[in-house]
Chain A
Amino acid sequence: MASYDKEIIRDLIDGTLPWQSTKSIMSQYKDDDRFFKYIDILQERVKFNDQILLPIGEHLYIVAKKSEPQGERVVKCGCDYEFGHYTNNWKLNAVINVRDEEEEIAEIYPGRHSYDPDWMEIREFICPGCATLLEVEAAAPGYPIVFDFLPYLETFYRDWLGRELPAETTRD
């Protein structure tokens, strides 16, 4: 079964591995030991010490909190901003910019590239801590915000990874 050094995986996920090597990895059977190497790489990059349990986006992680309530599974941005428990939609604790006026739309989609703001709006979900654009929704006005991903963490760790998930203290 394939297995790669952490350095190779680091370059691969950053898109800096030469294309030939990348293509070769994509065409091979997958390396089953990827997950925890991946987590180690991400852990080195974030500005918090809490243990990453699962990445759920480019800068978003479900972590087990080190501080009180210890072990609580919350969503954090890589900058340490905390969005609340992972079973709730992190977007509700973000800040938002909605592009529904011509001038703002034209900043991204000028002229004939534009959409009709009466039919659709662009919603930008931004981290209040570091201003990173975390997700963009293109939705009809009035459409509820999407809860992108609710992982079954216990099942994932216990049944798929064969590891114990760090215990979570009782939530308030």
Chain B
Amino acid sequence: MNDAVENKAKGLKEQLLENDRKFQETGCYAGITELKYREEDPMRYESLHTKLRSMSIASREMARSISASPGVREVGEMVVALYTPEGDAISLSTGIMVHVHTMSRFIKWMIQNGYEDSPGICPGDVFANNDAFIGTVQVPDVMVVIPIFHNDELVGWAGTVAHELEVGGITPGGDVYLAQERFTEGLFVCAEKVGEKDELRRDYLIRLERNLRMPIYWMFDDKAKLAANLELRDQVKELIDDVGLDYYKRATREFIEEGRRAQLSKVQQLMVPGRYRGHTFYGHLTEGKPGILPLGDENLLYSIPLELDVGGDGHMHLDFEGTGSWGYHSMNCTPAGMDGGLFVTLTQSMNFEGKVNDGAWLATDMNLPSGTWTNPDRHTVATATSWALLLPAFGIFQRLLSRGFVSRGFKEEAFVGQVNSPMVEMGGQSQYGSQFGMAMFECSAAGSGALGIKDGIDNGYVGWNPESDMGNMEVWEQGIPMLYLGRSIAADSGGPGSNRGGTAFTSLWLMHNTDEVTIATSEHSSRVYDNAGMCGGYPAPTAHRHFTVRDSNIQQLIDEQKPLPHSLGKDPYTTDLARLVEGEKKEVEGPHIDKPLQAGDLFAHSYNGGGGYGDPIERDPLDVVRDVENGYVTPEIAQRTHAVVLEHDEECNAWRVNPEATEARRKEVRNSRLNKAMPVKDWIASERERVLEKDFVTEVHKMYQDTMGISGQFAKEFREFWQLPENFTM
């Protein structure tokens, strides 16, 4: 047996320490300095990897048909993975690639905490976890793992994660926005043995049944996850019988080392070494809203700066120094969650071919400053909607990578990045008269950022699920007491650019056959955009509001066959709800946390578009007019932002470009830019006075107080940039 293969007699804890030691000593995973099996017989080696990956994918597809949840069945919010005995990911299915290393952390946590002794790790055991401080992203990401024994030796783990649609928190749904501490996030399962002899324990299922608003989702999903794991386990055992245990153990470790090397060489192939920087912001608006506890009763502005250092060896170091403290809200994130963000980005930008596994994790590292939202220093902090800050943060990462791609010549890979896609979480009385809870996963179809060579994807992309799908309206209507009046492209929701950001959509619902629906939305920045453009492109407008009409006259409009609203409409100043409907109208800024709605009420929710790439007045006028014709861009924005002169042909009811007038208009815009703009150095001199006077609104002022307090480095850079006295504090 090769010495890189663990000694069977050693306990898992010792094996784990031994692997770490070997990595420290050799720089290679598990001390594997040579890819021996790969070199000796590449066909056999690749065949094993392909089979393992196929098994993971087949297990996931099988499990999807067991699940009762539209989140898993329709949208595919699930991933199946195979791990080494020490918990390192070997191969994964398609699906939510977030969890390459989150489940890894969960398995390692059990090993490090002596689970071999108590509660014991035996054949047939089933373990579950949704505690982000142990290893997941957020409460609804419930993972189920089982050990794989070959004869009496533990040779690996099979694990499956799915996003649960209801977790029993203070507000209904999966992403519990109103959670302000751990104690209101919902049902926690903390690295718990939840089954034996290949079955979930009855008392565990009873706990789920009695603590969730809609237990059917989590319960059936857990059964689906267990079935996927059992399927994977049994197939892996058969494969081990076929290839031999020693070969399996060495080859699977080589896969991970190969993954590490592939990541480093991919960086060297696609990027340029250097220091990359970017930032974005997130506005949290909850002050005075119902259910906000005294400690959380404030509005917050989060700054999210990111520095990426790409070293000469291809190693990437991400640094979140300068971001803000954790808070009494649900948007905090744990290092496991940040791992999730890193992986979901890497697997879409450079780590998508060959060996997608924990090797890439070993080729990257992150500075997550303690006490910030990226790494809270107490485990009672709520993380139920950690995507709110995590997704914008890794959208920056995508832009930084893209800067490298553009520099290197691989412009087709440049991508302005993912955006948050705000979720609608709801619960109350269903249309069938029973209690319900649901996370509306149609958000899995936002607009993507633009690419370096083309427009972003319209209504069809989210960062966290590369198989993005909004699901059929009819399927969602089966699970919620709400009927769609419309699902429509939101004009002007993509960031302008020579390549436009992908557009988002807006849904408008009529509450139906219910006395009570509580709606709580999440991952939704207010007052500021939580994304950016690139190379002259603008960010997408992502500071949405919610619109409700209570006691509406919708039934009367239907009876009288009058026009109904199907969207917010194209007029940015007056919504179609305001124009067409009567009733108690309300515009809610920030997350929708409000009193319940009931049958006959209306609710509109908008998702996010992506940022643009390049100067908007360099956009091909024919692309602009096509956008106008198809409702992606309004004529007003086409003419103002893209400087395209359009003429409306009344007879054909079509827009046409006037090329000569457009050329003249664009020249005029260039002149006017120079007339209006001022030298940056002059602007800095005038802004410096504002900074010295601390002339900022409360939230901005608090943001600087916090970030300068928690990061000496940011405070120093801030003072240096504005040439402030050394003793300047905010």
- CB-nearest residue of chain B relative to A17? B453
B681 surroundings in chain A (CB, below 8 A): 92-93
Binding stretch for chain A, among B138-146, B158-166, B531-539: B531-539
The reply to whether A156 and B641 form a contact with Cβ atoms under 8 Å apart is no
Residue of A whose beta carbon sits closest to that of B701: A142
Total A-B residue pairs with C-beta atoms closer than 8 Å? 241
Among the 9-residue stretches B16-24, B268-276, B358-366, the one with 4 or more Cβ atoms under 8 Å from chain A is B268-276
A115 and B717 form a contact (CB under 8 A): no
Residues of chain A within 8 A (CB-CB) of B671 are 131
CB proximity to A under 8 Å, residues B73-95: none
Contacting pair A160 B273 (CB below 8 A): yes
Question: Cβ of A30: which chain B residues have Cβ within 8 Å of it?
Answer: 269-270, 410
B277 in contact with A111 (CB, 8 Å): no
Is B412 among interface residues, defined by CB-CB distance under 8 A? yes
Chain A residues with Cβ under 8 A from B699's Cβ? Answer: 119
Q: Which of A43-51, A55-63, A65-73, A164-172 contacts B (4 or more CB under 8 A)?
A: A55-63
How far apart sit A91 and B677, CA to CA, in the bound complex (Å)? Answer: 13
Whether B543 sits at the interface, judged by CB under 8 Å, is yes
**In the bound complex, do residue A120 and residue B277 qualify as a contact, i.e. CB atoms below 8 Å apart?**
no
> Which of chain A's residues has its CB closest to B718's CB?
A144
How near does chain A come to B176, taking the closest CB pair, in angstroms?
A: 25
Interface centre among A112, A128, A145, A151 (most CB of B within 10 A): A112
Contact B572 A56 (CB under 8 A): no
Taking CB atoms and an 8 Å cut-off, the chain A residues in 117-167 that contact chain B are 118-120, 122, 124-126, 128, 130-152, 155-156, 159-160
Q: Say yes or no: is B9 at the interface (Cβ < 8 Å to chain A).
A: no
Q: Does B673 touch A at the CB level, under 8 Å?
A: yes
A149 and B276 contacting across the interface, CB-CB below 8 Å: yes
Task: Kindly list chain A residues whose C-beta atoms are within 8 Å of the C-beta of B572.
Answer: 110-113
| 8 Å CB interface, B591-646 against A | 613-618, 636-637, 640-641
B680 within 8 A of A: yes
Number of interface residues of A (CB under 8 A): 75
Question: Residue B529 at the A interface, CB < 8 A?
Answer: yes
**A94 touches which of B279, B454, B614, B680 (Cβ 8 Å):** B680
Taking CB atoms, residues of chain B closer than 8 Å to A38 are 408-409
B540 CB, nearest partner CB in chain A, Å: 9
Q: Which residues 516-566 of B sit at the A interface, judged by CB distance below 8 A?
A: 527-529, 531-539, 541, 543-545
B175 interface contact, C-beta 8 A: no
Chain B: interface secondary structure? mixed
Query: Does B327 make an interface contact (CB < 8 A)?
Result: no
Is there contact, CB below 8 Å, between B722 and A13? no
- CB pair A12 B412 closer than 8 Å: yes
Chain A residues contacting B499 (CB-CB under 8 Å) are: 15
B700 touches A96 (CB 8 A): no
Q: Which of B202-210, B434-442, B683-691 is near enough to bind chain A? A: B683-691
Chain B residue nearest in CB terms to A95? B677
Cβ-defined partner of B536 (8 Å) among A58, A115, A149: A58
Closest to A22 in B: B412
Separation of A140 and B535 alpha carbons in the complex (Å) = 19
Cβ–Cβ contact B277 & A112, under 8 A: no
Interface size on B, residues (CB 8 A): 93
- How far apart sit A112 and B569, CA to CA, in the bound complex (Å)? 11
Q: Does B193 contact A (CB under 8 A)?
A: no
Chain A residue nearest to B409 (CB atoms) is A38
- Closest A residue to B399 by beta carbon equals A148
- Closest residue of chain A to B537 (Cβ to Cβ) is A136
A55 contact set on B, CB distance < 8 A: 406-407, 409
- Determine the chain A residues whose CB is within 8 A of the CB of B409 once the complex forms: 9, 13, 34-35, 37-39, 55
B565-576: CB near A (< 8 Å → 1, else 0) gives: 000100111010
Contact B680 A92 (CB under 8 A): yes
Given A15-B499, A150-B275 in contact, is the A136-B674 Cβ separation under 8 Å? no
Question: Closest chain A residue to B573 by CB distance?
Answer: A111
CB of B602 to closest CB in A, whole Å: 16
Does the CB pair B527–A116 fall under 8 Å? Answer: yes
**Taking the complex as formed, is B181 at the interface, i.e. its CB lies under 8 A from any CB of chain A?**
no
A147 surroundings in chain B (CB, below 8 A): 277
A109-B541 contact in complex given A92-B681, A138-B281, A142-B704, C-beta closer than 8 Å:
yes
Of the listed residues B268, B536, B681, the one surrounded by the most CB atoms of chain A closer than 10 A to its CB is B536
| B131 interfacial contact with A, CB 8 Å | no
Q: Is B303 on the interface with A (CB-CB < 8 A)?
A: yes
Q: Are B680 and A138 in contact (CB under 8 A)?
A: no
Would A26 and B492 count as touching, CB distance under 8 A?
no
Looking at the complex, which one of B278, B498, B637, B669 makes contact with A148 (CB distance below 8 Å)?
Answer: B278
Check B403 against A119 for contact (C-beta < 8 Å): no
Q: Decide yes or no whether B697 CB sits under 8 A from chain A.
A: yes
Q: A108-B538, A149-B407 are in contact. Are A54 and B528 (CB under 8 A)?
A: no
- In B664-698, the 8 Å CB interface with A consists of 669-671, 673-674, 676-681, 683-684, 687, 690-691, 696-697
Q: Which of A8-23 contact B (CB under 8 A)?
A: 9, 12-15, 22
Given A15-B499, A54-B272, 12 more A-B residue pairs with CB atoms under 8 Å apart are A12-B453, A93-B681, A98-B683, A112-B545, A119-B700, A120-B281, A132-B618, A136-B533, A136-B537, A140-B301, A149-B275, A152-B312
Residues of B within 8 A of A (CB): 268-270, 272-281, 283, 301, 303, 305, 312, 353, 403, 406-413, 452-454, 492-493, 496, 498-499, 527-529, 531-539, 541, 543-545, 568, 571-573, 575, 613-618, 636-637, 640-641, 669-671, 673-674, 676-681, 683-684, 687, 690-691, 696-697, 699-700, 703-704, 717-718, 721-722
CB<8 Å pairs between A and B, sample of 6: A107-B641, A115-B529, A138-B532, A140-B281, A147-B277, A156-B274
9 shortest interchain CB distances as A-B pairs: A111-B572, A38-B409, A131-B670, A151-B274, A144-B721, A113-B541, A95-B677, A116-B527, A58-B535
Chain A interface residues toward B at CB < 8 A = 9, 12-15, 22, 25-26, 29-30, 32, 34-35, 37-39, 54-59, 91-98, 107-116, 118-120, 122, 124-126, 128, 130-152, 155-156, 159-160
